[in-house]
A and B are shown apart, each in its own frame.
Chain A
Amino acid sequence: DQQVKQNSPSLSVQEGRISILNCDYTNSMFDYFLWYKKYPAEGPTFLISISSIKDKNEDGRFTVFLNKSAKHLSLHIVPSQPGDSAVYFCAASDPLNTGNQFYFGTGTSLTVIP
């Protein structure tokens, strides 16, 4: 059973607008969440993370929001740029119980239209 879900396989956004990528999880023990970005023919690149003690973490154009009660996190990219076009994966971990095992979603393919 998939513990981390990205229900939107794809998203298209105009350049300069906001991109919002969503992720839901089922395991309430997850306490660390990450977003990765992946270009074709490359491995995933770490983008931004958030621990469960926070509800927001910002790094430049990227902000991750965590809603623990809804078991939902989102990645906001603003303003979106054509170079942001990639597949975005969210991941979660529960270090106390499953050590350094990461659980990944299936990814959302973002296309930023110039």
Chain B
Amino acid sequence: ETGVTQTPRHLVMGMTNKKSLKCEQHLGHNAMYWYKQSAKKPLELMFVYNFKEQTENNSVPSRFSPECPNSSHLFLHLHTLQPEDSALYLCASSQVDRAPEAFFGQGTRLTVV
């Protein structure tokens, strides 16, 4: 098992669809993150969960809704997205009381049509 696993790897959805991205970490970490990577832009932090509690929401539109049922799983629920939301969505985890480096999953390439 790799450290951080994301499914699906690729997703094409219409603007009226509802879909969810899933992330699972097998590293025993206590923090999980959603990042968005658009072309020519830095990775943008979307949400942070520490010990299953959401601690950061960086002005993300409500059409993105995170869920963290336990410290190993993180979801990003998507509904009524726009074409400009097409991007690579990356999940990461870290152990906040030790070294702060985050470990990333392989990402979900999302295309909104």
- A→B interface (CB under 8 Å): 2, 4, 32, 34, 36, 41-46, 49, 89, 91, 93, 95, 99-107
Contacts and interface: CB of A to CB of B under 8 A. Distances in A.
Given A43-B4, A43-B90, A43-B107, A102 B42 contact: no
Nearest to A105: B42
A101 B106 contact: no
B76 interface: no
A45 B104 contact: yes
Given A99-B56, A100-B50, A106-B41, 10 more contacts: A34-B100, A44-B43, A89-B42, A91-B43, A95-B100, A100-B94, A100-B96, A100-B102, A102-B100, A104-B42
Interface of B: 4, 6, 31, 40-43, 45, 48, 50, 55-56, 90, 92, 94, 96, 99-107, 109
A49 B98 CA distance: 13
A44 B96 contact: no
Contacts of B41: 106
A84 B101 CA distance: 20
Contacts of A107: 42
B100 A46 contact: no
